[in-house]
Structure 1
Amino acid sequence: MEHFLGELIVRFGYIGLFAALALGIIGLPVPDETLLTFAGYNAFLGKLHFSITLLIAFIGAASGISISYLIGYKLGLPFLKKYGPKLHITEKRIARTRQLFKKYGNFLLILGFFIPGVRHLTAYITGIANIGWRRFMLYAYSGALIWSITFISLGYKLGEKWYIVGKYVHKYGFFVLLICLLAALFVFAYLYLRKAKVTGEPG
């Protein structure tokens, strides 16, 4: 896996990172978290620029989830059930994601990035449910940003030990999700307080 990711980064650089993440979000079998962490590790080595890597990762994830939303919105559930299995999107996964969507609503667009098997489906289900584009962008792009920052930063901070992230994500997925959820709440609270402070200042 490391050899494959190394070839992807060396040969295609930021374009490879963008394309792999976009296609991975749509549903192709791309090890997304491992790729992000490895990209962070390459930023640690100086082969990639940290800020540019974050930007490209965010754009890739946002592009992939936007395409998924448009497919769900325009073509609906019958299309997903018919062609989804080619992307390992089974009816069981669709049903599970719809139940999670009913339980968590739009916040699943943020949480879903951190749940393997759900990340690829949240936008499809949101599009099928005819959720408005602006609302979709608010939650989905926030999730894409938090997800990208989380794993690229982990790869950057861990350095040579970047590879342990994939191991712990699969072994302790719930706890990783909980930590990321707390981080997301912190970001939203910060933005809310900052906005309130700005609007509260005298003009």
Structure 2
Amino acid sequence: MEERLLHWLARDGTIVLFFAQMLGIFGLPIPDEFLMTVAGTLARNGHLHLWSTLLAAVSGCIAGITLSYWLGRTVGFAAVHRFIHLSDSAFVRAQRWFLRFGCWLLMFGYFIPGVRHVTAIAAGSTPLGFRTFATYAYPGAVLWSFGFVFLGYFAGERWRSVFDLVRRRLPLIAVVVIAVVAAAALFITSRKNASA
């Protein structure tokens, strides 16, 4: 499947990236991080335009996560669980994580394999409003998409080895990103309180 997607990406460019991102986030077995990394490498080599690649990756991700939210809102998490053949343990884990971490899981769940596919559906099946959902989920889409596209862009010809290393360390990277964002939020909040 990867070879076919790579052929389409090289031939048709960012439109393939958009739909691959949308369908991958929605839950189809598409190697989204792999494709974004390759797209970044193609942008570095001049086969794709960098900013249109970033736009396609982010907008595809946002489209997929939004569709997932509305699916959870209209059909419910349990019905979707049966439809996408999610294992019972993954289903229970996603529910437990969403109840524990709530909206923050929408932002950082992209970095946890298997979690990004169900967090929006779980959010849609709760009373969480769309505006709150988008406030957390969309910046996460930007972080995740930019991260992998720029990974491929800066790794260049070494993209495969760098990608494999990052893929193995993705949960650790997620923890670091969360810590940095939390520290920045605390710093900004303390500065606002000090000036008030």
Give the TM-score normalised by structure 1.
Answer: 0.85
1:127 aligns with 2:124: yes
Q: Residue 44 of structure 1 aligns with which residue?
A: 44
Percent of aligned positions that are identical: 38
Q: 1:167 is matched with which residue: 131, 139, 164?
A: 164
RMSD: 2.1
1:141 aligns with 2:126: no
Displacement of 1:94: 1.4
Displacement of 1:122: 0.4
The CA deviation string for residues 33-60 of structure 1, in whole angstroms up to 9 with x for no partner, is: 1111111111110111111111111000
Q: Residue 102 of structure 1 aligns with which residue?
A: 99
Structure 1 stretches lacking a partner, 5+ long:
none
CA distance in 1, matches of 2:63, 2:22: 6
Distance change in 2, residues 1:14/1:161 (3 Å): same
Q: Residue 114 of structure 1 aligns with which residue?
A: 111
Displacement of 1:167: 1.6
Displacement of 1:100: 1.0
Q: 1:91 is matched with which residue: 73, 88, 92?
A: 88
Structure 2 stretches lacking a partner, 5+ long:
none
CA distance in 1, matches of 2:176, 2:161: 17
Displacement of 1:104: 1.2
Q: Residue 67 of structure 2 aligns with which residue?
A: 67
Displacement of 1:4: 3.1
Corresponding letter in the other structure for 2:88: E
Corresponding letter in the other structure for 2:93: R
Q: Residue 11 of structure 1 aligns with which residue?
A: 11
Corresponding letter in the other structure for 1:162: W
Q: How many aligned residue pairs are there?
A: 191
Displacement of 1:189: 7.2
Distance change in 2, residues 1:69/1:176 (3 Å): same
Q: Residue 56 of structure 2 aligns with which residue?
A: 56
CA distance in 2, matches of 1:99, 1:38: 34
CA distance in 1, matches of 2:184, 2:62: 18
Indicate the larger mover: 179-188 or 72-81. Answer: 179-188
